[in-house]
A and B are shown apart, each in its own frame.
Chain A
């Protein structure tokens, strides 16, 4: 298994360089997460409506009704995921700064990676965490812990089996830079509205809610694509002053 750097990944935090041939469908740009999710909801909803209309249109063999019900349940399950996501985005409010405390992003990262390590191992994905310097933040610890888990959990789901998922965290002037990069596997079922892709979208919403900048890129060649999400958020002011 080759490492991300062996593969020539740019995980410096400055953002991957555009490749001559972008591969696959780019992550949603120019459309708000809410609009993206509402668009996604149309698909299973239309499917369900058509399926039910066909079922009541005339007498059908019993097995067809059973199939319609099963399809309906599957479509409802997909809609439930999307409705939950829509609600989460719609309900998002600014974080309560009174809940903020001193937290170390690097510590939280190590903990999230340790939690997901067995999952990565089972999938044959190597989790590479590169985090040397401390990354002090003022943040809602619980919110950040949940957000990190969701972010890495979604990226891990999308990573190609047997590949590396690289996580680079480093101070960058007065900001903490977090870059998560992976080689995507086959597009998941219902892509680009699959559960892990929706999870990544919700992670983006969460990071932006936390005051972070979010950049999602997909670069590489047709043979090998690299997907990377870069998050930059301010270091705790007093501690950031120590960095040159």
Chain B
């Protein structure tokens, strides 16, 4: 996996590079927009991390150029701005994800993993994870052939976890994608909804699909063998 970082803050670029190399990515850092644009056009990258405030050529211009030349390369934008409008503008311009400074490295790392996976996924209408099936068109969920009733929010949450199958997602990522909010909530809304989902998805099954990743967030993982229902199956009740 090769990652391009366009970041003019030398210290920040160095820390991010060290962290990503520690996760076995190959990393190229460019301190200005012109160099970043040239490299991103000439070479193949799996992910581009783009600061918006770059010297010589601003990040938005680099992003527009990149989208015209390489529409499928995943781009994560780093910015100083936190307003909803800025985020919308950024995504409209073609960014795949958006992270406001200051950020934590674990947050950045989780987002890169999610982006890499998303770029390799076909846009399937039916998502599968072991014996769990989610039909995005029919809005149906089944586990081991049994229909599970979910609320709209629970459905969106499960869909997001399944789109990131085998990858950890942070609470911030969930809040942004499922609740469409651009700030961290003060309540434990994500944890509460995960618990509801767990009761409906995992209770009564020997194999638990939803895992807690301590200090980070959650991961939906699917072992290769389908899970056998427990002796006393759970009652599936809508909220």
By a beta-carbon cutoff of 8 Å, the part of chain A in contact with chain B is 77, 79-81, 83-84, 87-88, 91-93, 96, 115-116, 118-119, 122-123, 142-143, 145-146, 149-150, 153-154, 156-157, 195-196, 199, 202
Query: Are A116 and B189 in contact (CB-based, < 8 A)?
Result: yes
Shortest distance in angstroms between B210's beta carbon and chain A's nearest beta carbon? 16
- Closest Cβ of chain B to A231, distance in Å, is 18
Could you tell me if A84 and B82 are in contact, using CB atoms closer than 8 angstroms?
A: yes
* B186, CB-defined interface residue at 8 Å: yes
A118 touches B183 (CB 8 A): no
In the complex the two chains form, is B187's CB within 8 Å of A116's CB?
yes
Is A83 a contact partner of B102 (Cβ separation < 8 A)? yes
Given contacts A88-B82, A115-B153, contact A154 B182 (CB under 8 A): no
Is B15's CB within 8 Å of the partner chain A? no
A118-B192 contact in complex given A87-B80, A146-B84, C-beta closer than 8 Å: yes
Question: What string of 1s and 0s marks CB contacts (under 8 Å) between B98-129 and chain A?
Answer: 00101010000000000000000000000000
**Which residues of B (82-100) have their CB < 8 Å from a CB of A?**
82-86, 100
B25 at the interface (CB under 8 A from A): no
- In the complex, are the beta carbons of A118 and B187 less than 8 A apart? no
A119 close to B188 (CB less than 8 A): yes
Q: A115-B189, A119-B192 are in contact. Are A84 and B84 (CB under 8 A)?
A: no
Are B186 and A154 in contact, with the CB atoms below 8 A? yes
Identify 28 residue pairs between A and B in the complex whose beta-carbon atoms are under 8 Å apart, listed by A's number.
A77-B104, A79-B102, A80-B102, A84-B82, A87-B80, A87-B100, A88-B83, A91-B81, A91-B82, A92-B83, A115-B153, A116-B187, A116-B189, A118-B196, A119-B188, A119-B189, A122-B188, A123-B187, A142-B180, A143-B84, A149-B185, A150-B185, A153-B186, A156-B186, A157-B186, A199-B183, A199-B186, A202-B183
Within 151-203 of B, Cβ neighbours of A (below 8 Å) are at: 153, 179-189, 192-193, 195-196
- Give the residue of A79, A115, A150, A156 whose beta carbon is less than 8 angstroms from that of B183: A150
Query: Is chain A's interface secondary structure helix, strand, loop, or mixed overall?
Result: helix
Complex Cα spacing A123 to B192, Å: 10
Cβ of B225 under 8 Å from chain A: no
Measured between beta carbons, the chain B residues less than 8 angstroms from A92 are 83
Bound-complex Cα distance A157 to B192 (A): 13
Report if B239 contacts A (CB, 8 A).
Answer: yes
User: In the complex the two chains form, is A196's CB within 8 Å of B179's CB?
Assistant: no
Tell which of A146, A153, A196 touches B182, judged by Cβ atoms closer than 8 Å.
A146
Q: A118-B196, A119-B192, A149-B179 are in contact. Are A87 and B81 (CB under 8 A)?
A: yes
A188 and chain B: residue at smallest CB distance: B186
Q: From residue B192, how far is it (CB to closest CB) to chain A in Å? A: 5
Known: A91-B81, A153-B189. A84 touches B183 (CB 8 A): yes
List the B residue with the shortest CB-CB distance to A197: B186
- Give the shortest distance, in Å, between A109 (CB) and chain B (any CB): 16
Residue of B nearest to A91 (CB): B83
Taking CB atoms, residues of chain A closer than 8 Å to B102 are 79-80, 83-84
Please name the residue on chain B nearest to A95 by beta carbon. Answer: B85
Q: CB-CB < 8 A to B187: which residues of A?
A: 116, 119, 123, 153, 156-157
Q: How far is the CB of A37 from chain B (nearest CB, A)?
A: 13
Q: Which of B181-237 contact A (CB under 8 A)?
A: 181-189, 192-193, 195-196
Choice from B80, B104, B184, B193 contacting A118 with Cβ under 8 Å: B193
Chain B nearest CB from A208 CB (Å) reads 15
Beta-carbon contact of B192 and A196 below 8 Å: no
For the complex of A and B, list the 3 residue pairs with the smallest distance between their C-beta atoms, beginning with the closest: A196-B186, A157-B186, A199-B186
- The one of B84, B183, B186, B195 in contact with A142, judged by C-beta atoms closer than 8 angstroms, is B84
CB distance from B218 to the nearest CB of A (A): 16
A122: nearest chain-B partner, CB-CB: B192
Docked Cα-Cα span, A115 to B192, in Å, equals 11
Chain B residue contacts of A146, Cβ below 8 A? 84, 180-183
- Which A residues touch B181, using CB under 8 A? 146, 149-150
